[in-house]
Amino acid sequence: MRSRLRGFTLIELLVVVVIMLLAYTLAAPLVSSGVASTEMKAAARQLAAGLRKARSEAVARRVETTVTVDVEGRRFQVAGDSRSYALPAGVELSLFTAESERSGPSTGAIRFYPDGGSTGGRITLAARDRRYEVDVNWLTGKVTILD
């Protein structure tokens, strides 16, 4: 008697490959948007950390400190720090701050005072359907991230 070989036929393998390709094409956009969302959340946290650092420096050193935001360049810099922090390229940035802190059409700052207060303001990061707002309370200087 002949023993029968067990295995998969070429047709069965092709069907499995086609199903896997379909699953990948449907799942890829979901995964890539998750990465963008994670990157955006990290950018909002980095910006909030820079603002908190500026507030702490103002209180500790008893001097006014600013965080300058370049909306077009998607960058921010904390006064006294030589580094300039870049935000992701796919993120739209907008700045709402006191008119006296505007230094150009796309550049402005949020100022922190030695008593912990600030000029206040809001920096919005947006991409696709995701949006984070980094809010600075003018009275207390408290920095919060609004989702």
Domain boundaries of the chain, sorted by first residue? 10-146
Q: How far apart are CA 131 and CA 24, in angstroms?
A: 27
| pLDDT value for 8 | 80
Q: How far apart are CA 120 and CA 139, in angstroms?
A: 8
- Closest Cα to residue 51, out of 115, 137, 127, 125? 137
Q: Which residues of the chain have pLDDT under 50?
A: none
| pLDDT value for 66 | 97
- Closest Cα to residue 118, out of 94, 139, 88? 139
Tokens 């069907």 locate to 15
Neighbours of 136 (CB within 10 A): 27
The one-letter code for the residue type at 123 is I
Q: 28 pairs with which residues across the strands?
A: none
Angle among Cα 114, 117, 123 to the nearest 5 degrees reads 120
| pLDDT value for 2 | 57
> Of the CATH numbers 3.40.47.10, 3.55.40.10, 3.40.50.720, 3.20.20.150, which one belongs to the domain with range 10-146?
3.55.40.10
Tokens 């947006």 locate to 126
Q: Which two tokens stand for residue 143?
A: 């920095």
| pLDDT value for 128 | 79
| pLDDT value for 118 | 97
